[in-house]
Amino acid sequence: MTFDVSNPGALGAPVSSSSASPGQDKRPVFQKTLKRSIGCTGVGLHSGQRVAMKLHPAAPDTGVVFKRVDLIGGGAIIKSRWPQVIDSRMCTVIADKNGISIATVEHLMSALYGLEIDNVIVELNGPEVPAMDGSAAPFTFLIECAGVLEQDSPRRAMRILKSVAHTNGNKMVALEPWNDGLRVDFHIDFRAAAIGRQTCSFTVSPAIYRDEISRARTFGLLSDVTALREAGLARGGSLNNAIVVDGDRILNDEGLRHDNEFVRHKALDAVGDLYLTGFPIIGRFIGRCSSHADTARLMRQVYADHSCWELVDMWQDATETAAWNPADMVAVVAPAAAPARRVAVSR
């Protein structure tokens, strides 16, 4: 299955009549990219490899495109779309037609969604996005340092028209209609006493994302570490890029950034996985003890039923100011708990 962003009807989904101009009191929402290139280095959570990453501005309608620059012949180009997903067991992995892959794209994709970046080229010299501190906060920091540029092409959204759900035992994921952007409701229930039952609900906006979602770190159980590494996973995992839980204990010296940090990270992952549609979503996502794999199965159902979604132009009040105010970009503070890292800005 292919999904051509330049052809909204490519999957047979209707294009809403709301694409027409709603009147003089409204103006279109435009796509955004970065003002300049910026880079960082880090370790892949699962591969354990040292990876350098650069984010570059991109033309309207490019979307989020990954490029492996460590390969002979100029590298592989991989679009961040659901048809390119080849694995979603422990993280989200995308690949081109030759099987060249990039793993753990969800945290970066989440930051790009949260800060409303539509078009960017992501260059990597390895097979995995660097884990940084295990959250999306370092990526939001990079985006804010690079600056955000409004482009001259209208932004479109995927609007959910009817409920779609996937159930797998005690796990459940669903998308349903919602009128106010993307709403994420998540619930988890772990036997480990340090995690237990947690719930969070957010309507995603740049401010809410940055303050309430982006800093939540990935997590794992100490009892699972040996099995994961024997399976070739979590080779780069450490207390510097993950919360490690042992029963009722948090092994990280700094403790938690939020009382419900675990479920907030699940919401962070869901936002990143949902951005593999290539569009912001107008709808409500519900996750109950679900995983990357459950979200992938849900999205296969969504794309199989063209009557449950449509693409619409996005509009805002003509008097409304842009979400990104250059004055707000002057004083950018790095996440307090993020480990030291090298940041390179190309001007």
| Ordered per-residue pLDDT tens for the chain, 347 residues | 222 333 333 334 445 544 455 667 889 999 999 999 999 999 988 788 999 999 999 999 999 999 999 987 767 999 999 999 999 988 999 999 999 999 999 999 999 999 999 999 999 999 999 999 999 999 999 999 999 999 999 999 999 999 999 999 999 999 999 999 999 999 999 999 999 999 999 999 999 999 999 999 999 998 887 777 777 666 778 888 999 999 999 999 999 999 999 999 999 999 999 999 999 999 999 999 999 999 999 999 999 999 999 999 999 887 765 554 433 333 233 333 333 333 333 33
Decide if 30 contacts 152 (C-beta within 8 A): yes
Q: Does the active-site annotation cover 292?
A: yes
83: its two tokens: 């048809």
In this predicted structure, what is the pLDDT of residue 224? Answer: 85
CA dist 292 and 87 (Å) reads 9
CA dist 187 and 59 (Å) reads 38
Decide if 213 contacts 267 (C-beta within 8 A): yes
Catalytic residue among 56, 265, 292, 306: 292
CATH topology of domain 27-346: lpxc deacetylase, domain 1 (3.30.1700)
Decide if 259 contacts 196 (C-beta within 8 A): no
Residue closest to 160 by CA, chosen among 307, 31, 298, 294: 307
For residue 91, the tally of other CB atoms under 10 A from its CB is 22
- CA triplet 304, 16, 176: central angle to 5 degrees? 50
Handedness of CA 57, 113, 272, 111 (dihedral sign): positive
In this predicted structure, what is the pLDDT of residue 58? Answer: 98
Decide if 104 contacts 128 (C-beta within 8 A): yes
Tell me the backbone φ, ψ of residue 79, rounded to 5 degrees: -80, 145
Decide if 290 contacts 171 (C-beta within 8 A): yes
In this predicted structure, what is the pLDDT of residue 75? Answer: 75
Q: Where are the domains of the chain?
A: 27-346
Going by their DSSP bridges, the two strands 156-160 and 37-43 should be labelled as unpaired
CA dist 120 and 103 (Å) reads 17
Question: Which residues touch 224 (CB under 8 Å, ≥6 apart)?
Answer: none
